Chain A
């Protein structure tokens, strides 16, 4: 408990130091076109959230659009990846036919996938979705596949000895052992997804945080550009640390144990 508070304190103070440095630099430079101060950015963010922007919608709308795109693509990629990975782990034929393809997909730089998807599907929602799935699904699948290979065979034998049915086996033995792999895939998949969605929005999707960022970039409005970047980063940090980290620590409560 004490160490938890201490780490929160440390993190908070490092953010405060960063803000102070930023503030000092902007004060020294005294040129809001190049580096606006944190206060100006804060005011802009609040104004963007409250009042309609250049497209007639407030920032809340763009954030909602971006979140919807991220979650749709994320869940689609996760489900496909978990399904493919499990199938590879439990079935030799699937394993042998997919294993050579996966490194190919993993080697492809994700920015190239975004270009390809845009060329094939145009500036559409489908383009973004395909780009995310092409990058994230193979990674999730590989993770799940490795998870199935690392399962403790002796526990499966134990369950079979006590005549556990397939359903019970999956629920109480397979899934709990795969949880660490699912979570690590979750983390990575989420990080990849929002980066690709932001990229796709910047390149050509209508609305969304990336779209607004690019809009203000073209206007060369540094205050707005920074405001949108910060909104995006804060949003993703909250999701990663507030939601996923909490889910994860709950799922692995049994590990925080010690022999006495």
Chain B
């Protein structure tokens, strides 16, 4: 086992190394009823540099979640390649992947603390580090002191915070987030986005974030990949270098959002 280096925030050097590289990834499903195949992902290529925040924006059904599942290693693909590079100091080790789902997916019969222990045990993190990792990550998501509480006693937003703490606790090489705020009310979601920004300043994980909300993507990301359905492919990549901390009402953010929305809907045909 490789020793784990405690979470020193990653400083982005001049030479950014990629944490996720995907090359010409294609995935097909057999179409129901006929012998045909239905192309879910069509030659997807993207890279996310270490410590960067990349978003994939696309209409529902464009295969975004399938892409995340392939990266997470729980779904197969037909051609192309997916490579995940472990963080500096963990070269050659099995990459650690944190995942935040649309719904919290907590184990309601376990306390908050034991929910985090569950993934630490799954990832073979040595037991003597558990207490420190639980405390640090709960504190980071603003839930210090909730260790012994049960998930069903927490609000939806707090449950999703636990899910974020759980994903960060394994000190992931990459963090995958699948529309993590889409199930929350608008006010809670807005607060969560702010808090996520703050968490990122401290933990600096590499993030691949899936959303259908362009405003959210512009506010959070360093890079946006826009995806279309049929064929499911990336049609545009946008780099965002608006300095952080950002505000959703900043004119630079609003202007970019407007431009991207126009561009997005000139390409993507949304079927009711």
Binding site for B on A (CB under 8 A): 154-155, 157-165, 168, 172-173, 176, 179, 254-255, 257-260
Contact of B226 with A by CB under 8 A: no
Residues of B within 8 A of A160 (CB): 74
Per DSSP, are chain B's interface residues mostly helix, strand or loop, or mixed?
Answer: loop
Per DSSP, are chain A's interface residues mostly helix, strand or loop, or mixed?
Answer: helix
Contact between chains at A172 and B107 (CB < 8 Å)? yes
Contact between chains at B121 and A163 (CB < 8 Å)? no
CA distance A250 to B128 in the complex (A): 29
CA distance A255 to B107 in the complex (A): 12
Please give me the residue from chain A that is nearest to B172 by CB atom.
A162
Contact between chains at A259 and B109 (CB < 8 Å)? no
Contact between chains at B152 and A255 (CB < 8 Å)? yes
Please give me the residue from chain A that is nearest to B102 by CB atom.
A154
Contact between chains at A259 and B74 (CB < 8 Å)? no
Contact between chains at B155 and A161 (CB < 8 Å)? no
**Given A161-B73, A161-B74: 18 more A-B contacts, CB < 8 Å:** A154-B101, A154-B105, A157-B105, A158-B99, A160-B74, A161-B99, A162-B122, A164-B118, A164-B121, A168-B118, A168-B122, A172-B118, A173-B107, A254-B108, A257-B153, A259-B154, A259-B156, A260-B153
Residues of A within 8 A of B77 (CB): none
Residues of B within 8 A of A257 (CB): 150, 152-153
Contact between chains at B170 and A162 (CB < 8 Å)? yes
Contact between chains at B155 and A155 (CB < 8 Å)? no
Tell me the B61-113 residues at the A interface (CB within 8 Å): 72-74, 97, 99, 101, 103, 105, 107-110
CA distance A63 to B102 in the complex (A): 56
23 A-B residue pairings within 8 Å (CB atoms)? A154-B101, A154-B103, A154-B105, A155-B107, A159-B118, A161-B72, A161-B73, A162-B118, A162-B119, A162-B170, A164-B121, A168-B118, A168-B122, A172-B107, A172-B110, A172-B118, A179-B109, A254-B108, A254-B150, A258-B153, A259-B153, A259-B155, A260-B153
Binding site for A on B (CB under 8 A): 72-74, 97, 99, 101, 103, 105, 107-110, 118-119, 121-123, 150, 152-156, 170
**What is the minimal beta-carbon distance from A1 to any residue of chain B, in angstroms?**
18
User: Which 3 pairs between the two chains have the least Cβ-Cβ distance?
Assistant: A164-B122, A257-B152, A158-B105
Residues of A within 8 A of B123 (CB): 162-163
Please give me the residue from chain B that is nearest to A253 by CB atom.
B150
Residues of B within 8 A of A165 (CB): 122
Please give me the residue from chain A that is nearest to B96 by CB atom.
A163
Residues of A within 8 A of B99 (CB): 158, 161-162
Contact between chains at A258 and B152 (CB < 8 Å)? yes
Residues of A within 8 A of B108 (CB): 254-255
Please give me the residue from chain B that is nearest to A179 by CB atom.
B109
Contact between chains at B105 and A155 (CB < 8 Å)? yes
CA distance A126 to B99 in the complex (A): 54
